[in-house]
């Protein structure tokens, strides 16, 4: 599990991408905890989308958990909630 905190934006998305890289198994599961994320911009959403696509290609499960309401609203507005392995229990 990888946990993110603060704002997930153009300045911090590369740091999260670097943190996720060693945890992307060829087969298995990667869980990203967003309970500490208070804001997400298009850079953060792009990273989530790319990781979800990569998981499909490389055969690992990518789950996003602990999504705060403000972040969940943006994911829903963009339709990204449908792409991510996200369920009601993930929403705080």
Residue 20 contacts residue 2 (beta carbons within 8 Å): yes
CA distances from 72 to 1, 24, 26, 53 (A): 19, 23, 28, 19
Q: Which CATH number fits domain 28-92: 3.30.70.20, 3.40.50.11600, 3.40.50.300, 3.30.750.24?
A: 3.30.750.24
Domain residue spans of the chain = 28-92
Beta strand residue intervals within the chain, DSSP E: 2-8, 28-40, 60-65
Per-residue pLDDT of the chain (92 residues; tens, 9 = 90+): 899 999 999 999 999 999 998 876 766 889 999 999 999 999 999 999 999 999 988 888 999 999 999 999 999 999 999 999 776 555 55
- CA 58 – CA 91 distance, rounded (Å): 26
**pLDDT for position 91:** 56
């Amino acid at each position: 599990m990888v946990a993110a905190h603060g704002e997930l934006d153009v300045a911090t998305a590369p740091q999260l991408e670097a943190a996720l890289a060693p945890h992307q198994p060829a087969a298995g599961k990667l869980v990203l905890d967003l309970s500490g994320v208070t804001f997400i911009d298009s850079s953060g959403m792009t990273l989530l989308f790319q990781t979800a696509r990569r998981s499909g290609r490389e055969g690992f499960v990518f789950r996003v958990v602990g999504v705060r309401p403000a972040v969940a609203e943006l994911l829903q507005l963009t339709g990204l909630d449908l792409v991510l392995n996200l369920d009601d229990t993930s929403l705080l």
